[in-house]
Structure 1
Amino acid sequence: MRFYKTGLTLLAAMVLTACSSKTADIATKIDVTHGPTSIVNGDAKGADDITVTTPYFAFALSQGALVDLAMVEDGLYTKDLVKSVDFTPGTGELKLEKTEIVKHTNDELVIKVTRNWNGQQVLSTYEVNKNYPGVKLTTQLQDQVKETLFAGYQLDRNAPINNANVATYNDMTRMVRNHWTSAQLQNELSALYETDDLRRSYSGKSVGKSTDKNPEFSAWLSAGSLGSLQSDKQFYTSTSPQAELGLFDLKPTTGNFENYMTVMRQRWDRGERVYLNAGPLLKNAKQHSGKVYAYTPKGSITADFARAAARGHSFVSFGPEVYPLTTNFGGEAAPFSKTEVEFRSEVGLAKAEIWLDGVQVAGWKINGAKLFRTGVPVPPNRTWMQWIVEDVQGNKAYSNPIWVK
């Protein structure tokens, strides 16, 4: 199988269009400038502030914090969308000591910021790759922390997300297999969901990586991408109405997928709208890694894949496939309506299951058919439903939950 990396741009995304007011032309590479930012309505106005522009977004740093960010829409950089995106260690102020550009090429950028917090050094890193719209954010506390912290990355927007002109894809109008795109995420994302606040309570050894002497916190700031993907289809990075700004928790997910599945079901029971991921280190019983199939009816576009995966319009497969025919995975279904699915496998299907709130409530034996459709009524007074299918070789596919209204 041949794998492609994301980041191949559509021709339309490469057209240079003059921006209004203080904005510059859309960059064709990663550019860095010093001084007051060119982002319209931006807050980075100091002589030592830094503005980074890429073909898909731009951001500015001031006093070590990301204080401005603009996306590319209709060939222009938007106005500033954020008040800040920064690591919050709890109480106390972060004071800048120095900012260093440790790597800068046309395609890659690494900026390291050293700050002081309550007498100890805090090292933050901003990593950008031109082909993957987003920023990898990492902060490490240089001394071991013994007290309890409420710490993590936080995104503070200038205005709420406006989804008025973006398709929700809650309901499926027809089944088109080519509307689903599969890929394996190479970023160290765990559960897939967008949030503005990754702060959590940490006490003593639980801070950051519990085995580390120096606690570390990481996040992915998406500007229309989940980072590097591996797929047997060519992906395109372009400006898209589906491109969204959102924070994702970066936490390496390893081990057995069934154990991961158990934890995810517990989170669904609590009503957490988090969704399945498939990475190279997360294995099934046969020590194989899976792929995420996301609903991307407009094609293999990184922004569309990222939005679909973050909203659970996807399933994870180690072989067979499961497609929604009524309510989309990650969508909401009304009680007493019917949820229907289609299972597929080139080697033949063996069985299927339906789960309600963490308990298997029904199953089907399929006896080697390559295609099978079924459905069940949506029960009232439940939280979520999940479909699982297994092929004759023992490989499975797992849908994301359908939420019961």
Structure 2
Amino acid sequence: MYAYLDNAATTPLDPAVLDAMLPYLAQHYGNPSSLHGPGRQVRAGIEQARKSVAQLINAAPSEITFTSGGTEADNYAIFGSVRSLRLAHAITSPLEHHAVLHPLQVLAKSGETKLSYLRHDAQGRLDLAHLEDLLATQPRTFVSLMHGNNELGNLNDIKTIGEICARYDAVFHTDTVQTMGHYPHDVQQLQNHFLVGSAHKFHGPKGVGFLYRRGGVAVDSLLHGGAQERGVRSGTENVYGIVGLAKALEIAYHDMAAHRQHVQGLKDRLIGRLMASIDDVRFNGLSAEADQSLYTVLSVSLPPSSISEMLLFSLDINKVAASGGSACTSGAQLGSHVLEALGADPDRPTVRLSLSRLTTADEVDYAADQLAKLYQPASALR
């Protein structure tokens, strides 16, 4: 069999999502900016998708902008806010995705903003008292802190973070790429100005995402050259991708509690099997804490071994798909900026095993068995 446990990188396309997309790949081919019938038909599909996404997160349709994915949405929020609102100070953490860190570092290097990094402990818990201290000295600040860490699985309390930001009139952006479609998001209950989604993280197509921008927050666009997306994001829309995104999010929200129960059960099973079969196995950050981490992500720290440098390759040969960390970083097994920030032992290899509602118990058992087999020779020598 083949065990696909790299769902944090991308998820399989739901067949129902493909069915929703097919008419827009074949019959409905009009340009959505055209005024004729075929164009209006396609425009209607986009606007229905926008309405659907907005309803699911309790937003207004006008607050949803479709993008090419989470990276573009993050970049739009970051560059747009700092430059348009002239925010001279930005706060983030060293544990963020590079789609957040790199734009902020570009802005800091150019002198457009001062960048501060939030303190955290050895498990990756953010120091919110430090956040409040930083905001107290310079309240009109841009804050970007993710909801769920893509490598560790740590969950941050974005409701509390938003409330702190609101007290100091800070602009709050949260990268919700790993949690969108897995946890309910109600923007009326949050104090965030921006959040993002990427369809392929919740069984939708690749190359499409969305940005929620709270009404009244006026920022400049990254892309110019047309009036698409209400003048916010130029370029002909990825129509079938947008339709697929909306359908995937609808499916994700339907029976979300049951999906969570299923996947959490698989994660608990995986933790138990790894602990029983591999000496000195550990878990990075809060990855093994059910109430403090993504139920879809398990970051496994393994003992030093002669196979460490070839671990992911060996798993692949044995038909287990996994990763060392973010799929957006090459050589992530030993080069994770997140693990480095936590002070993790560089001699201990990390493998990220990530699950979805389509993952089976057989896949979990098979992956755990293959990892155990790789470490049996090392165990036998001790």
TM-score, normalisation: structure 1: 0.27
- Return the structure number with greater helix share: 2
Structure ranking higher in strand proportion = 1
Structure with more relative contact order (C-alpha pairs < 8 Å, separation 6 or more): 2
TM-score (norm. length: structure 2)? 0.28
